Chain A
Amino acid sequence: MADAGSFIHVDTPAADAKAGAEAEGDTDSYVHVDTPASDAVQVKAEADTETEDQVIKNTKGPEIKLEDLFEGMDSDDEFPSSPVSPKRESFGSFPSSPSENGVSHKASDPELMRSFYQRLFPWRYLFQWLNHSPTPTNDFGHREFAFTLQNDAYLRYQSFPTSDLLRKDVLRLMPSRFEIGPVYSANPRDRKTLRNSTAFRPLAKELCFDIDLTDYDDIRTCCDKTTICIKCWQFITMAIKVVDAALRDDFGFKYIMWVYSGRRGAHAWVCDKKARAMDDQKRKAIAGYLEVVRGGEKSGKKVNIRRPLHPHISRSLDALKTHFQEDVLEVQDPWRSSEQAEKLLQLLPDAQLVESLRKKWDSSPGRSSVSKWADIDTVAKTGASQKLDSRALLDAKQDIVLEYTYPRLDIEVSKKLNHLLKSPFVVHPGTGRVCVPIDTRSLGDFDPLGVPTVQSLIKEIDAWQESEEDTEKHVQDWEKTSLKPYIEQFRSFVIALMRDEREVKVKQERDEDEIGSTDF
Chain B
Amino acid sequence: MIRQDFNRIDSKRRNVVDHRKKQFADPSYKEAQYPHRLNFYATPPTADITLEQFEQWAIDRLRILAELEACSFRNKTPAETATHIKPLLDNSSSTQLFAQRQKDHYSHFILRLAFAATEDLRRRFSRVETMLFRLRLGADDMRERAAFVQSLNIDWEPVTDEERRELATELAAVSSFAYGGKKTLQAQEDESWCKVDWERVPDLVETRRVFLRAGKAYVPAREQQSMVITEFSARLERALELTARALPRLDEDDRLTPILNHLSKTFIVPDATFGGNNTAIDGAEITARNMDNLSQHFPMCAMNLHKSLKRDAHLKHFGRLQYTLFLKGIGLSLEECLVFWRQSFNRITDDTFNKEYRYGVRYSYGDVGGDSNRRGGGGSPYSCQKVMTMPPGPHGCPYGHFSMDNLAALLQSAGVNDRGVLQGVKEDKEHKKFHMACNRVFEHIHKNELKRAIDEGIMTEAQLETIVHPNEYFKRSYLLKNMGKMQQQQQQQQGGGGDVKMGE
Q: Is A75 an interface residue, CB under 8 A from the partner?
A: no
B interface residue numbers (CB < 8 A to A): 16-17, 19-20, 169-170, 172-174, 176-177, 181, 198-199, 202-203, 205-208, 211-216
B219 CB to closest chain A CB (Å) equals: 14
Contact present for B172 and A251 (CB under 8 Å): no
Closest to B176 in A: A308
CB-contact partner of B205 in A289, A314, A520, under 8 A: A289
Q: Complex Cα distance A479/B160, Å? A: 52
Q: Is A284 an interface residue, CB under 8 A from the partner?
A: yes
Q: Which residues of A contact B203 (CB under 8 A)?
A: 285
Contact present for B212 and A251 (CB under 8 Å): yes
Q: Is A282 an interface residue, CB under 8 A from the partner?
A: yes
Contact present for A520 and B211 (CB under 8 Å): no
Contact present for B212 and A520 (CB under 8 Å): no
Q: Complex Cα distance A288/B204, Å? A: 10
Contact present for B176 and A289 (CB under 8 Å): no
Binds B, one of A42-50, A106-114, A365-373, A511-519: A511-519
A204 CB to closest chain B CB (Å) equals: 14
Closest to A310 in B: B208
Q: Which residues of B contact A284 (CB under 8 A)?
A: 202, 206
Task: Evaluate whether A249 and B172 lie within 8 angstroms (CB atoms) in the complex, with A281-B202, A520-B16 already known.
Answer: no
Residues facing B in A120-154 (CB within 8 A) are none
A411 CB to closest chain B CB (Å) equals: 11
Closest to A519 in B: B20
Contact present for A314 and B173 (CB under 8 Å): yes
Q: Complex Cα distance A312/B212, Å? A: 8
What string of 1s and 0s marks CB contacts (under 8 Å) between A268-312 and chain B? 000000100010011011111100000000000000001111111
Contact present for A289 and B213 (CB under 8 Å): no
Contact present for B181 and A278 (CB under 8 Å): no
Q: What class of interface size applies to chain A in its complex with B? A: 20 to 34
Q: Complex Cα distance A300/B78, Å? A: 38
Closest to B209 in A: A310
Q: Is A252 an interface residue, CB under 8 A from the partner?
A: yes
Q: Is A68 an interface residue, CB under 8 A from the partner?
A: no
Q: Which residues of B contact A516 (CB under 8 A)?
A: 19
Contact present for B181 and A289 (CB under 8 Å): no
Q: Is A250 an interface residue, CB under 8 A from the partner?
A: yes
CB-contact partner of A282 in B177, B202, B212, under 8 A: B202
Contact present for A307 and B177 (CB under 8 Å): yes
Q: Which residues of A contact B213 (CB under 8 A)?
A: 249-250
Q: Complex Cα distance A288/B215, Å? A: 16
Q: Complex Cα distance A313/B177, Å? A: 14
Q: Complex Cα distance A289/B203, Å? A: 10
Contact present for A515 and B173 (CB under 8 Å): no
Q: Which residues of B contact A308 (CB under 8 A)?
A: 172-173, 176-177, 181
CB-contact partner of B177 in A278, A285, A289, A306, under 8 A: A306
Q: Which residues of A contact B19 (CB under 8 A)?
A: 515-517
Closest to B181 in A: A307
Closest to A308 in B: B173
Task: Evaluate whether A312 and B202 lie within 8 angstroms (CB atoms) in the complex, with A252-B216, A517-B19 already known.
Answer: no
Q: Complex Cα distance A303/B421, Å? A: 42
Q: Complex Cα distance A133/B16, Å? A: 34
Closest to A291 in B: B206
B24 CB to closest chain A CB (Å) equals: 13
A319 CB to closest chain B CB (Å) equals: 16
CB-contact partner of A311 in B17, B173, B202, B216, under 8 A: B173
* A-B contacts besides A249-B214, A250-B213, A310-B173, 10 pairs, CB < 8 Å: A249-B213, A250-B215, A252-B214, A252-B215, A274-B215, A282-B199, A282-B202, A285-B205, A288-B206, A289-B208
Contact present for B198 and A251 (CB under 8 Å): yes
Closest to B211 in A: A311
B298 CB to closest chain A CB (Å) equals: 50
Q: Complex Cα distance A274/B199, Å? A: 10
